[in-house]
Structure formats: structure tokens, C-alpha cells
Amino acid sequence: LALQCGILFMLLVLNHHTGAQTPEQNLAKLGITLPKASQPVANYVNCVRVGNLLFLAGKGPVTPNGTYITGKLGKDLDTARGYEAARLVAIGHIAVLKAELGDLRKVKRIVKVLGLVNCTDQFTAQPKVINGYSDLMVAVFGEKGKHARSAVGTNALPMNIAVEAEVIVEVEE
């Protein structure tokens, strides 16, 4: 037992020194409990893998109590609330990745994000909203979380959700 504890302690120290937190540890530090990945009700799926690429379906901002954040930026919601919505979309995508991969260390790179902001014609701060998505991905995956992205507006989203995003992810073989 003493030996086992010693080895465990060494591993912990090593882990701390290299800063090599796992994505799951980062989520815990952020106080985030992943929701169960919601299943599409129609003829499509959350995720399709081709080689080492995962293509994830568009997701909306689901709060911990299971409701969506709805409304249009520039009218119903301010940018801070939009940021929060985008962050929830990222959490939903990570839940899909966790269900698909089991271990989030298998994420090699968040590759490409298309973020759509439900907004008025005059709203121009789409990037500040989608930062909620990007910032969380980097907080959880570190450098591997840095992606190419587009942050754009749209006049309407399903169920009037505030934000929707889709993502392509590279995974380990």
C-alpha cells in the first residue's frame, strides 16, 4: 500500500509539474458537470466519424435544468448572456465527444467551428458571443482547443435558440 501511495503521489506531482491536466480534470476545476448528450429525434445523428475526423451536429444552448436559452441578440439578450449561451453549446459538444470517445484525452484538436448567432439585423458583436464557445474549448483542451472558426449572424434558429454551433474535431487513431 505504501508503495502504491508513493507511486500515486509521484504521478500526481508529475502531473502537476507538467501541467498536463486532463480535459476531465479541467471540466471539474471549472465546476462543469457534463450533461447526458441529447439524442436527435429525427433521421440524423450527433456525430459521424470519418478516419480521424469527427463531424458533430449543430447544437443549441441547453442549461443545466434542461431548458434552452432562447431569444435574439440585440433585442432579447445582451452579449454577456449570448456568451453564456455559446459556452453552453460548447459544453453540449463536449458531452457528445465524451459519449463518443469515452476519454476526452483522445481529442487531438478542435479543428473548425461554425457559430451562428440568432440576432437582429443591426447586431454586429457575433465574435464576442461565440468567444463563449471558443474560450471554453481552450479552457478544457488547452492548445488543442484552438480552432479555426467563423462567427456569423442569422435571423432565425430552431425553437428561437440564441446560438447554434457545429464543429469538426480531430481525434487520436
Q: Where do contacts with a second copy occur on this chain (CB under 8 A)?
A: 42-48, 50-53, 55-58, 72, 74, 109, 111-114, 116-117, 119-127, 131, 134-135, 137-138, 145-160, 164, 166, 168, 170
- Closest distance to a second copy from the beta carbon of 130 (Å): 8
Residue with smaller CB distance to a second copy, 91 or 119: 119
Helix 79-101 to helix 126-141 angle (10° resolution) is 40
Please tell me the distance from the alpha carbon of residue 149 to that of residue 133, in angstroms, as a whole number.
10
Residue with smaller CB distance to a second copy, 35 or 127: 127
- Closest distance to a second copy from the beta carbon of 57 (Å): 4
Residue with smaller CB distance to a second copy, 1 or 42: 42
Cβ burial of 67 (10 Å; 0-12, 13-18, 19+) is exposed
Amino acid identity of 153?
G
3 state SS of 46: coil
- Closest distance to a second copy from the beta carbon of 126 (Å): 5
Please tell me the distance from the alpha carbon of residue 62 to that of residue 89, in angstroms, as a whole number.
7
Residue with smaller CB distance to a second copy, 104 or 110: 110
